[in-house]
Chains A and B, each alone.
Chain A
Amino acid sequence: MPFLIGRSASRARHLGRSAIGPASLGLLLGAALVVWPTLALAERVFVSNEKDNTVSVIDGETLEVVETIKVGRRPRAMAFSSDGSELFVAVGDDEAIDMVDLESLKVVRTLSSGEDPEVIRVDPNRPYVYVSNEDDNIVSVLDYQQRRLVTEIPVGVEPEGVGISPDGKWLIATTETSNMAHIVDLETMEAVHHRLMGARPRHAEFTADGSEAWVSAEVGATVSIIDMQETFDVSHTIRFDVPGVPRETVQAVGVALTSDGRYGFVALGPSNRVAVIDQQSYEVLDYLLVGQRVWHLALNADESRLYTTNGVSGDVTVIDVGDLEAIRSIPVGRFPWGVVVEP
């Protein structure tokens, strides 16, 4: 990851500038050598603040906001370019995707995306970004290198969630009004299967081996498991019941799955809980208390931590995946929506 090393180098240079005199140079060099591995390991967490038109950058070591990036209007979903040099931010009210350079943390390019882009996903094999255009009932496919529209895939009414299989073969678009998951073959760029989900399907996430897709339904408060190997049918439905919390506040939104096949995490909206699910048995193991109206989730690179965006309370809760415990909540901007962690 060349950009990581570059970032560490720039921080080391910053350390160098604060030196008092030549006598302390040796000391500083020694300290820099000790600090170097920590800096190189530090991960950055990016959080889009829907009402502030900014992206907050959290240092994964100190768990503090270290930078706030100004972006277009109404930033929501984010994704990294496949080479890891840029962060794409869907800015809905600007009908565009802002591309943030991860070295300078500035918007360097803007790609026109079609009306009201909400969720974006990046193709693992090609320089394509898939965008759900809620008002046009399509998923737009954009080539972000050549900056052109590749094609538009018609789906149901009000497309929202977009999931892509790890091998880049399948894409799932969920449509809020049709209550469906549309399974798109990315070779032909056509929707080949259409399956009924719970009410208002929001988000689609594939397991690491690509054998299943988990689709959350906001109003239905369910997660449907789609078998992606043979039948492309719903093989199981997970339901949620948070003790002591009114049923209508339980709304399934963001989903994150550990790559070891152990846990699934589901953000349950205004119930202020993240459900912990056994990925094999689909049993709900626990409900973890986080901030208000938890919306989306992201695991860090080694999957030791889960970050949640809490829209109403305007913060990000950090969950220790080993202990299954919320350890910290970090205030960010107004209405944090999406979260991604540097790979």
Chain B
Amino acid sequence: MNLASYGHCLRGVVSRELLRFVHQRSRFVAALVRPLVWLFVFAAGFRMALGVAMTEPYQTYVLYEVYIVPGLVGMIQLFNGMQSSLSMVYDREMGSMRVLLVSPFPRWFLLVSKLLAGTLVSIVQVYVFLAIAYLYGVQAPLAGYVLVLPALVVTGFMVGALGMLLSTFVRQLENFAGIMNFVIFPMFFLSSALYPLWRIREGSYLVYQIAALNPFTYAVEMIRFAMYERFHAVASSISLVTALVLLGLAILAYNPARGMMARKGGGGE
């Protein structure tokens, strides 16, 4: 197998994911409506009209709708990552996972390709959302829209790998609701997506400590800083390391000999 065949395989996995995304228009609309409802309804009703106090990376006071946008970007990627995990459970049930995993390419490559595909889809969703937010008046510096791209890739891999790992625990599609309740909501609400950490600390020290341990907090801060042309070394490192660890665990879990698949009786039941 040469590099070209790897490329061919990658193209196949990515184009399948993109095709699936394009054909599921309702999924695209849902992926956009969710953060937009938060932006237009939640942030508007909860405007903090007197401004969110000065907090890094903002150089001055901002309205709540400006503060919440990086968190909503993270939310898009989080939902998309979980959606991918849902599709992997579906693939396993339908048997297409077996087709993928019996290919001659190494398992890690197939899984990384799958993650890359999911990340690409989430990035498309993020940029459409950011464009709408821009027209609504939430405008970051133009360079920030380019600088945020690496942060989106890291976040996409992080939440995608998490979804992949979780998919090994989920036997049936119906269990996805459990993932929603026990993964997406706590990760999103117990992070700095909706309120700055110092604000959470004022409310509850315990919640603050949980939020400070939540890797999603760091992904959101990495995105927030990148959008405002700043590099948050700590947040970026934590996000990247978390992404790599989760990816490693997911690859391990998908190993029929050792991982969760072995315990459940194979990768494509």
Report which of A244, A245, A292, A327 forms a contact with B60, defined as CB distance below 8 A: A327
CA distance A318 to B59 in the complex (A): 10
CA distance A315 to B47 in the complex (A): 22
Cβ of B62: which chain A residues have Cβ within 8 Å of it? 289
- Can you name 17 A-B residue pairings with CB atoms under 8 Å? A244-B47, A245-B49, A245-B50, A271-B50, A272-B50, A272-B61, A289-B60, A291-B60, A291-B61, A313-B61, A317-B60, A327-B60, A328-B59, A329-B54, A329-B59, A329-B60, A329-B61
- Once A291-B54, A329-B54 are accepted as A-B contacts, the answer to whether A317 and B61 lie under 8 Å apart by CB is yes
* Chain A, Cβ-Cβ closest to B53: A313
Q: Do residues A290 and B49 form an inter-chain contact, with CB atoms below 8 A?
A: no
B36 contacts the other chain (Cβ, under 8 Å)?
A: no
B63 contacts the other chain (Cβ, under 8 Å)?
A: yes
A326 contacts the other chain (Cβ, under 8 Å)?
A: yes
A side interface size, CB within 8 A: 20
In the complex, what's the smallest C-beta–C-beta distance from B56 to chain A, in angstroms? 12
Cβ of B59: which chain A residues have Cβ within 8 Å of it? 327-329
- Once A272-B61, A329-B59, A329-B60 are accepted as A-B contacts, the answer to whether A313 and B54 lie under 8 Å apart by CB is yes
Cβ of A249: which chain B residues have Cβ within 8 Å of it? 50
CA distance A34 to B243 in the complex (A): 47
- 17 new A-B contacts, CB < 8 A, other than A292-B50, A317-B60, A318-B60, are A244-B47, A245-B50, A270-B50, A272-B50, A272-B51, A289-B51, A290-B60, A290-B61, A291-B51, A292-B53, A313-B61, A315-B54, A317-B61, A326-B61, A327-B59, A329-B60, A329-B61
In the complex, what's the smallest C-beta–C-beta distance from B74 to chain A, in angstroms? 24
* Chain A, Cβ-Cβ closest to B51: A289
Cβ of B47: which chain A residues have Cβ within 8 Å of it? 244
In the complex, what's the smallest C-beta–C-beta distance from B137 to chain A, in angstroms? 11
Q: What are the interface flags for A292-330 relative to B under an 8 Å C-beta threshold, 1 for contact and 0 otherwise?
A: 100000000000000000000101011000000011110
A243 contacts the other chain (Cβ, under 8 Å)?
A: yes
Residues of A whose CB lies within 8 Å of any CB of B are 242-245, 249, 270-272, 289-292, 313, 315, 317-318, 326-329
Q: What are the interface flags for B49-77 relative to A under an 8 Å C-beta threshold, 1 for contact and 0 otherwise?
A: 11101100001111100000000000000
CA distance A221 to B134 in the complex (A): 32
Most A CB contacts (10 A, CB to CB) among B51, B53, B60 go to: B60
* Chain B, Cβ-Cβ closest to A244: B49
In the complex, what's the smallest C-beta–C-beta distance from B53 to chain A, in angstroms? 7
Most A CB contacts (10 A, CB to CB) among B47, B51, B59, B61 go to: B61
The 5 closest A-B pairs by CB, nearest first: A244-B49, A329-B60, A328-B59, A326-B60, A289-B51
Cβ of A329: which chain B residues have Cβ within 8 Å of it? 54, 59-61
CA distance A317 to B51 in the complex (A): 13
In the complex, what's the smallest C-beta–C-beta distance from A334 to chain B, in angstroms? 16
Cβ of A292: which chain B residues have Cβ within 8 Å of it? 50-51, 53
Report which of A242, A313, A315, A317 forms a contact with B49, defined as CB distance below 8 A: A242
Cβ of A242: which chain B residues have Cβ within 8 Å of it? 49
* Chain B, Cβ-Cβ closest to A249: B50
Most B CB contacts (10 A, CB to CB) among A270, A289, A291, A327 go to: A289
Cβ of A270: which chain B residues have Cβ within 8 Å of it? 50
Taking CB atoms and an 8 Å cut-off, the chain B residues in 13-53 that contact chain A are 47, 49-51, 53
CA distance A114 to B61 in the complex (A): 39
Q: What are the interface flags for B143-177 relative to A under an 8 Å C-beta threshold, 1 for contact and 0 otherwise?
A: 00000000000000000000000000000000000
Q: Do residues B63 and A289 form an inter-chain contact, with CB atoms below 8 A?
A: yes
CA distance A245 to B49 in the complex (A): 6
CA distance A328 to B50 in the complex (A): 17
Report which of A243, A245, A289 forms a contact with B61, defined as CB distance below 8 A: A289
CA distance A146 to B178 in the complex (A): 83
- Once A291-B54, A292-B50 are accepted as A-B contacts, the answer to whether A328 and B61 lie under 8 Å apart by CB is no
